[in-house]
Chains A and B, each alone.
Chain A
Amino acid sequence: MNNTAKAWTTTPLVALVSAGLPALCPPTVQAAPSMSPEQAAHAAFPEADRFDTRSLRLSSEQLHNLDAVAPVRQRGEVRLIDAWAGTRLIGTLYIDDVIGKVEWVTYALALAADGSVRSLEILEYRETHGFEVRTPSWRKQFSGRRVDTPFRFGEDIKNISGATLSCAHLTAGVQRLMALHTQLAKTAAR
């Protein structure tokens, strides 16, 4: 390129991290509180007059069966909120986590009594990013720069552009919960 006014410029990625950060992160907005499980339950079942919260520890057999539905890293404990209108069970909100390659997601799946999906909201979303996970070789590049000052820029910022992160892990988690719901309904009917 011979036209300097129109030239592309080259920057080492390392320089992006260290340069001019204070100017870049003025105190803008506080990290917004995510939706709470209770908010999600009220939003999904507005006609409910009572909510019962309980938790369910899955047996290894149950977990094994769910792995056959869709394999994904999931905790062995699921939180449930039953929504009641008088003596009638309207539905159940399941709160669960899935762990993907870079993301950890807490989500709330609201299922009506007939097993149909009322809503699906993500309550918390975390990506393992920042310098805590960096390898020593990467850290070395910063020697003498700001190794001692922890890097806070990404702390409550989730506006990340990059190769699209698939929500396949979450989809698998939802399939498992729906299978679990069917199992539980069968057990209850017995």
Chain B
Amino acid sequence: MKGVPVRRMRPLLGTYVQVEVIAEGAASAERAMEAAFLRIEAVHRAMSFHTPDSELSQLNREAHRQPVAVGSDTLAVLRRALYLSRVSDGRFDPCIAPHLVRAALLPAPASPPEETGRWSCVHLDEDRRTVRFSQALWLDLGGLAKGYAVDAAIEAIAGHPVERALVNAGGDMRAFRRTPGQPGFPVSLRNPADPRETLPLGQLEHGALATSGEALLGRPGSDAGLSPLVDPTNGLRPAQARSITVAAPECWLADGLTKIVGLLGPDSQPILDDHGCHAAIIDPSGHLHASPGFWQAVNRSHPPGDHSDA
């Protein structure tokens, strides 16, 4: 079966979001496409750190004073964020926004809170669907919300009669295929040493891939060599890894785990194992360190020059 591919790209979630849908008929592909963008736009509106009227901005202004009601998407992303904080002993922390603002990686929406809060200061009331902070803090759901939006888009697409699809939100991507045996989507990796270079990585048939890295690209006037990886305990950025890629069943997990793998390195293996995920780290000397199973996850046999870490 050879379907008709339809591709669209829109600026959302602070980056370029591309959706590719392959369906037997162009009309089905278009409908799936619109459903995907509707979901991404909803997540964008709810969780933008920069828009003053987003649910997230409302939380950052008011949740330390009183419980604030949020929609199901924001609640779902927060639940996932706190889960990752728990399983990583706080290595993942959605409260590092003040560190990022100080490093000029995030524009400041207001004057930052005096103290940088911790994930444990965020309390969800699942029954009332409200969020409360035990102190003033800045929540930034950036990468996780992006991954979640990709998942939501893929789920919306799966409800339509399409064969295959790929949603790519600036490097956070997830592939869908109706039946096994259909070809995957070729994926490349941006070389952290030179963002103009891309390296062929493999093929994504289903599941997600996300990368966090040093070069934060395309923000005019900013330093491109800064890492968004921050150790929440001291606000410092680790120097060993230049970029981290994670392959996971779902995109929120892939994005969230890049931060944890970036801080723990190969010591993150038990967390990767627990979630059926695989990781690759590019170091400053131009080598890619892949966890067991990573190459299989991107459908590539080991490239030559490959050797075990002794």
Spell out A's residues near B (CB within 8 Å). Answer: 1, 4-21, 24-26, 28-30, 32, 34-35, 71-72, 100-103, 105, 107, 120-122, 125, 127-130, 133-134, 138, 153-154, 157-172
Are B10 and A122 closer than 8 Å at their CB atoms? yes
Q: Contact check: which of A30, A138, A153, A157 meets B5 at CB < 8 Å? A: A30
**Contact segment of B79-87, B117-125, B164-172:** B164-172
Q: How far is the CB of B157 from chain A (nearest CB, A)?
A: 15
Tally of contacts, chain A with chain B, CB under 8 A? 239
Chain B residues with CB under 8 Å of A164's CB are 14-15, 143, 146, 170-172, 216-217
**B109 → A minimal CB distance (Å):** 16
Determine whether the beta carbon of B198 is less than 8 Å from that of A163: no
Residue of A nearest to B255 (CB): A164
B199 at the interface (CB under 8 A from A): yes
Chain A CB count within 10 A is highest, among B146, B220, B302, for B220
- Cβ B196 vs Cβ A168 within 8 A: no
- CB-CB under 8 A from A28, the residues of chain B are 183-186
User: Residue on B with the closest CB to A169?
Assistant: B218
Closest 5 CB pairs of A and B: A162-B190, A163-B213, A15-B305, A122-B9, A32-B7
Report yes or no: A14 in contact with B305, Cβ–Cβ below 8 A. Answer: yes
A48 → B minimal CB distance (Å): 19
Instruction: Give chain A residues whose Cβ lies under 8 Å from the Cβ of B213.
Output: 162-163
Partner of B243, one of A10, A134, A162, A171: A162
Which residues, 8 to 63 on B, are CB-close (under 8 Å) to A?
8-11, 14-16, 18, 20, 22
Option from B8, B189, B196, B289 in Cβ contact (under 8 Å) with A35 = B8
Contact present for B308 and A165 (CB under 8 Å)? no
In addition to A71-B220, A160-B189, A161-B173, 8 A-B residue pairs with Cβ atoms within 8 Å of each other are A9-B289, A9-B306, A13-B191, A13-B288, A24-B203, A129-B197, A159-B185, A168-B219
Contact B168 A159 (CB under 8 A): yes
Q: Please determine whether B14 and A10 come into contact, CB atoms closer than 8 angstroms.
A: no
CA distance A120 to B37 in the complex (A): 12
CB distance from B156 to the nearest CB of A (A): 19
Bound-complex Cα distance A30 to B22 (A): 11
**Per-position 1/0 for B180-204, Cβ under 8 A of A:** 0001111111111011111111111
Which listed residue, A34, A157, A161, touches B171 by the CB 8 Å rule? A161
Residue B211 is within 8 A (CB to CB) of chain A in the complex = yes
Q: List 10 A-B contacts (CB under 8 A).
A: A8-B289, A8-B309, A9-B290, A121-B9, A122-B8, A129-B198, A159-B173, A163-B192, A163-B217, A170-B11
Contact assessment for B217 and A13 in the assembled complex, using a CB-CB cutoff below 8 Å? no
Residue ID in chain A nearest B185 by CB atoms:
A159
Contact A72–B216 (Cβ < 8 Å): no
A residues in contact with B295, CB < 8 Å:
9
Given that A13-B287, A71-B220 are contacting pairs, would A167 and B304 also be in contact in the complex, using a CB cutoff of 8 Å?
Answer: no
B282 at the interface (CB under 8 A from A): yes
Q: Which residue of A lies closest to B191 (CB)?
A: A13
Q: How far is the CB of B225 from chain A (nearest CB, A)?
A: 10
The answer to whether B305 touches A12 (Cβ under 8 A) is yes
Contact of B303 with A130 in the complex, beta carbons under 8 Å: no
Q: Report A5 CB to chain B, min CB distance, Å.
A: 7
- B238 interfacial by beta-carbon distance below 8 Å: no
